[in-house]
Every structure is written in C-alpha cells, then in structure tokens.
Structure 1
Amino acid sequence: MIIEPKTRGFICITSHPKGCERSVLNQINYIKSKGKIDGPKKVLVIGASTGFGLASRITSAFGSNASTIGVFFEKPPLEGRTASSGWYNTAAFEKEAHKEGIYAKSINGDAFSDEIKEKTIELIKEDLGQIDLVVYSLASPVRTHPITGIRHKSTLKPIGNTYTNKTVDFHTGKVNTISIEPSTEDDIENTVAVMGGEDWKMWIDKLKKENLLASNFKTVAYSYIGPQLTEAVYRKGTIGKAKDHLENTAFTITDSLKDIGGKAYVSVNKALVTQSSSAIPVIPLYISLLYKVMKEKGLQEGCIEQIHRLYTERLFLENTPTDSEGRIRIDDWEMRADVQEKVSELWEQATTETLPTIGDLEGYKTEFFNLFGFNYDEVDYDIDADEMVNIPGLQ
C-alpha cells in the first residue's frame, strides 16, 4: 500500500515501515561510529520502542554488545492498516541485532500489569539469568493499577492558578494564547499514579525477589525539568508532581539494592520532539525556539546523542556525577545560561509572523513526522510499502 501521514491533533495515526527502519538504522550507525562502550551486557528496557527507551536499547546493543529484552505496548499491523511506529522501530532494531548475532527479544503488552511483569521475569530466567541494567522509559497517559484495578489518567495542568501563555499549532504555525484551568487534588493523585515511581519500584522489587539482578546492578528512569518559561505547566504542574515522586523513588530503590551494590538513578534529559511532548501546551513553541538556538551554537542533540552521552559520560563511570538532588543531568547544554537567555529573548518576540524566522518550526515538524517514519530523504514514499511487518523476537 501507499502510506501517507495522517494526523489527528498532536499524533500521527499512520506510520511508515521503511521510514521507521531508516530512523533506526541512522541511530545504529551513529552508535557504531562512536566505537565500543564499556557498558551493560544484559539489559531490560521498559518502554523500549520509541524515544529515549529505543535509543537506550540501541546504545546498549550496538555500543556494548548487550543482550536486550524490550517491553512496550504497540499496535500490530492489519491488512491495509499500518502498525504503530514503535512496532516498526522494534522490528527494524531486532532485524539488525539478529543480523549481527546480538540477542534481542520483545514483549508487547501493558507493562503496568502483573501479567507482563511475570512474562518478562520468565524470559529473563530462561535466557539471561541475571540482568545488570533496567531502563525505565514508560510514557503512557493511563495506568490500570495492578492491585486496586483502578484506571488512572494523567493530566497536564497547572497547580493553584489558571495558566495563560503562548503556544503554537505546529501544523499551521499559528501562535496564539492558551489558558489552562488549574488541577484538582484528584488530577494530581492520578498523574502521580500514572507517571510517578510506583510502577518502576514494582518492577525492581519483583526482579530482585526472583534473584534476577546482578551485583552492582543499575537502573535508570528518565525525567525532565525544563526552564522557568514552562515550569507552571510542567515542573510546577501535575506532571512535575509525578516527576518529583519518580525522583524520590530512586532513593527508595537504591536503599533496597544495597545488599547487591545496586543503584537507581533518574536522568534529567533535554527537551525533544516526542509524541508526549507534542501534547503539552507551550512545549512545541519552546522547543522550536530552543532548537534554533542550540543548532546555532552547535549543541543540538537527539535521543540517540543524549543516551550515548549518558552512557559514556555519566551512568557507567566509576563515580556517576549527579546534581545536589542526586539526579544525572544531561539537560546541561539545554539549561546553559546563554541558551536560556536567548530562548527567553526570542519568546517575547514570537508571533505567527516572526516564528518562521526566529524559530525552527520546520525542524520541529520534520522531527515530529520522523517519529512516524515520514520525511526521510532516503525513502521513496510513492512506492508500495508492505505494512505487514513482523517483529522477529516477539514472545
């Protein structure tokens, strides 16, 4: 079938298998170009099919020749209907890994559920014995709690006051003003239940109970802080409460791992175009200005560059450098004073008319469609593509 991008709001409801393969190959080639990494050897990635999770799986496998198990919740293809991009990403990753004799298997299902946790545990027991790294990179808007059965839904709201600021419709380029009503206590509790650290700790507790964690085991979850410009709707909003919980959970997990010399970290990463960030008001405008500034300064990174730097300059050093809150910071280039000062200056100037010049909205849109396998120069989108792609190591 001929596959074209079809958007609904901030998501694309189609994806291109050849384009997703191109995206994965580009990331693999980047990691290979950097040489071998003294990193993990047996890795579980929870949320492994897109963004930072996929980059972590690629960096582990092709940087340090690690065996990887990926867990994700993706839509498989049907005749005449494309799979989700994460499905095609994983298929491409496993194909390349198997070609090079690298172990890679995957589990598709709800990572919040006990069923998927147990299935993963059995696979680790059968194939890997023990693992030395767990990457926790889930980005789901909903979670059914495995104990209570309650379905929690996260929200993106400020706390205390209505928030009003600029945003951009990245499809049309129109800059306008948006107001978001403040959250309720229920909104905060539900967002923490979905995006906080409880499920991360449940995973680690279950794996440890089964003696599946190697000595000096590490686990890392991903977070974001961002600038003052976005803090009312992000770091000081409902999602910020969830990130606070996630970051505090790292200390709790570390305490539980002392007997095996284990350690849990939260890595604060830079702002990037993802399916999740596209949904957050204000963030697309901020990112389009940030990209312009970081590209001009030669500081721009995507997911794969960020995770390579995390592995080589932070996580696997003998003494992992952290901030005063115990967090790894690979948002350091984004948060540089000169970068943020320039972004703040451009923010004041940003209108529908000025944004094409002062921002990088085209770069934003290109990266958005890249997430779904579109807008790659190397791919001919006018020829038939086979949507029925299998994941070789799917369990």
Structure 2
Amino acid sequence: MIIEPRMRGFICLTAHPKGCEQNVINQINYIKSKGPIDGPKKVLVIGASTGFGLASRITSAFGSDAATIGVYFEKPPKEGKTASPGWYNTAAFETEAAKAGLYAKSINGDAFSNEVKQQTIDLIKADLGQIDLIIYSLASPVRTNPKTGVTHRSVLKPIGGTFSDKTVDFHTGIVSTVTIEPANEEEIENTIAVMGGEDWAMWIDALKAENLLADGFTTVAYSYIGPAVTEAVYRKGTIGRAKDHLEATAFTITDKLTEVNGKAYVSVNKALVTQASSAIPVIPLYISFLYKIMKEEGIHEGCIEQIQRLYADRLYAGDVVPVDEKGRIRIDDWEMRPDVQAKVAELWKNADT
C-alpha cells in the first residue's frame, strides 16, 4: 500500500507508520540526551497518543524509568485505510518501551466514559498498585457526560461580539481575513463541559475512591494563554472560558488530595502546531510568526522540549514547584518574552500573502 497525504480541511486523513515511529524515536532520543529526571515512577497519561500527552508519556518513561499507562481514542488500520497517527505513535512507543524493559500498557477508548475509567482502575490495581502522577491532556471536540448521558459539542468562537482578523491557509499560504460570529450562552456552556475540568476531577475522584493515588501524588493538566492578538478567539473566547474552568478545578482537586499530600497543577504551555491548535482561526498565522522568531532566537521548542523542561525545571526540580500569581506553572515563558512578542507583533502588522 502506497500512503499519500489526503486532506479534509486542516486535517490530514492519512498517517505513515514509519514517519510516526521515527517521530517517537526522535523524542525518546531527545529525552535520553538530556539525562535522567528524578521524577515519577508510576504514571497515568489521559490523552497519551499525540502532542503534549505523548511527550509526557515519553518523558516519564525514558526520563524517569516510569511504568506508564496511556489512555487514548485512536482508530486502528483497516483495509485500504491507515490508522490515525496516535495509534502508530503508541505502537512505536510500546515497542521502544519493551526494548528498554519498561512497563507500558494502553487502553484505547473514550476517556470520558465510566467504562474506560473502570478498565483503567482495574489495570492499575492488577499491575501497578498506585499512581504517583496523572497527566490530563485530552483534546476532544465532543464529550458525552456519563452522569447525564448528554453529548456536548465545543465551539471555537469569541464571546460578546463578532471577531475579525488575519488567518492563513496552511495548504496555500494565502493570508486572508476571517470573521467569526460570537457564541451564545449554550455554546459557551457546552464548550466548558467538553474542555473544562469536570472530567479531570472525575478521573481523580474515581482513582482516589479506590485508594490508587500514592502519597505525594501529583496531577497536571495543560492550558494555554497566549498574546493579545489571539485572545478574542482564544483566551477571551469560548475555549478560554473552558480553560478558566480547568484552572479553577486544579484548586478543588488539590483540596481533595490533602490526605495523600497531593497537588493538582495547570501547566500553561507554549503555542504549538497540533491537530487541535490548527483548528483555531488566527492561531496558525500567529504560530507561523512565533516559530520564525523563536527559531531565530534559538529558543524554539516542540512538545517534547516543553515537557522535558516542565519535568526537569518545574515539577521535579526541588521541593517547591514555581508558579505564577494564579498558581499556574508557566512554561510559555519563552514565548511570552516581551522581545519575542514585539517581533511577532511587527510581523503580524505587515502580514499579507
């Protein structure tokens, strides 16, 4: 079978197993090159197959020799069709983990469901006993709430007024103006239901009820803030409301973890090209400029560099995890440097096809 790129909008419908494998091996080699991290030993990654979640699993395993369980929702290959990239990524990760003598098992299913939570609980009980780190890195546009049976769909819209600004078509390179109508209240609530912190808290509650959280347990979810140019559609839009909810959830989870001396954090990461971020208008053009400037400055990072720095310089660097005034870990610090943002703003001002 010859595999060629097939596109639908911003999504590539085909994935090459060898390319995915090489991507995983490159990330593993990067982590090995940075030396060991005195980090977690039994790790659950929810959303483990691509992007920051995959990078977290690789960093845990090959930086700290951790046993890892990965939960994800990916399509296996079938006649005439390739698997989704995350399926190949996970297959490659598990192969490399086995070569290194590292425990790695995965559950492919809907992480929002009670069934997958129960499968995960059973696997932890059978194989690991307790978990000392949970990474929550889900990027899904749809969630069915297992308590209510209601299916919620998120939207990427501004709040309070119509938004217009520049964006770029990655396929053609054409810069154009995009206009997005504001979200209504129902759309805002649905986006919070999908992308907020409710499911993260459900996972922690489920594992805590079964005594599966080790003493000193940590959990981290990922967020993004970004600059003024993206805030109308991102941080001050529907997805920003969901991220506000996620960040507030970290405090409520921490309050529940006192008996295991546990802590929940939100890590604010840098803007990166992922399937999730590519869907957001304005963001692709901003990322194009950001990458250019950060590469020129010698401070560009992909997912694996970000997560290695999160583990080595923030989570496992000492007794106290450095946070901002709102209690968030910031590894978007290089992106948000005033000199970097000033140069991006200059490029933005002059952007055209």
Give the TM-score normalised by structure 2. Answer: 0.99
Partner of 2:70: 70
Deviation at 1:79, TM superposition (A): 2.2
Counterpart of 1:79? 79
Distance apart, 1:285 and its partner CA:
0.3
Q: Could you tell me how far 1:80 is from its partner in structure 2?
A: 1.8
Q: Which residue of 2 aligns with 1:310?
A: 310
Q: Aligned equivalents of 1:8 and 1:190: distance in 2?
A: 25
Query: Which amino acid letter does the alignment assign opposite residue 345 of structure 1?
Result: E
Q: Which runs of 5+ in 1 are unaligned?
A: 353-395
Is 1:135 equivalent to 2:149 in the alignment? Answer: no
Taking every aligned residue pair, what percent have the same amino acid on both sides? 76
Distance 1:268 1:149 in 2: 31
Partner-residue secondary structure (3-state), 1:276: helix
Q: What corresponds to 2:295 in structure 1?
A: 295
**Separation of aligned partners in 1, 2:333 and 2:37:** 22
CA deviation profile, 1:374-394 (whole Å, cap 9, x unmatched): xxxxxxxxxxxxxxxxxxxxx
* Structure 1 partner of 2:253: 253
Match of 2:193 in 1: 193
Q: What does residue range 65-144 of structure 1 map to in structure 2 within 5 Å?
A: 65-144=65-144
AA in 2 matched with 1:290: L
Give the structure 2 partner of residue 272 of structure 1: 272
- Report which structure shows greater RCO (CA 8 Å, sep ≥6): 1
DSSP 3-state at the match of 1:312 = helix
3-state SS of paired residue (2:275): coil
What's the secondary structure of 1:43's corresponding residue?
Answer: strand
Q: Name the residue aligned to 2:209.
A: 209
Q: Name the counterpart of 1:374.
A: none
- 1:324 is matched by which residue type in structure 2? E
Amino acid at match of 1:93: F
The answer to whether 1:347 aligns with 2:353 is no
Q: Secondary structure at the match of 1:82?
A: coil
Please state how far the C-alpha of 1:318 moved relative to its aligned partner: 1.1
Structure 2 segments unaligned to the other structure (5+ residues): none
Matched residue SS, 2:61:
helix
1:265 to partner: Cα distance: 0.2
What is the root-mean-square deviation in Å for CA atoms of aligned residues? 0.4
The aligned amino acid for 2:329 is I
Question: Deviations 1:126-172 (Å, cap 9, x if unpaired)?
Answer: 00000100000000000000011000000000000000000000110
Q: Which residue of 1 aligns with 2:167?
A: 167
What letter is aligned with 2:205? Answer: D
Distance (whole Å) between structure 1 residues aligned to residue 309 and residue 202 of structure 2: 28
How far apart are residue 297 of structure 1 and its match?
A: 0.4
Q: Which amino acid aligns with 2:344?
A: V
Q: How far apart are the structure 1 equivalents of 2:20 and 2:116?
A: 25
Distance 1:308 1:49 in 2: 17
Deviates more, 1:2-11 or 1:266-275: 2-11
Q: Distance in 1 between matches of 2:255 and 2:306?
A: 27
In structure 2, the residue matched to 1:324 is: 325
Number of residue pairs the alignment of both structures matches: 352
5 Å matches for 1:344-383?
A: 344-352=345-353
Structure 1 Cα separation of the partners of residues 6 and 24 of structure 2: 21
Please identify runs of 4+ aligned residues in structure 1 that moved more than 3 A.
none
| AA aligned opposite 1:32 | K
- Aligned residue for 2:14, secondary structure, equals coil
In the alignment, which residue of structure 2 is the partner of 1:338? 339
CA distance in 2, matches of 1:254, 1:238: 25
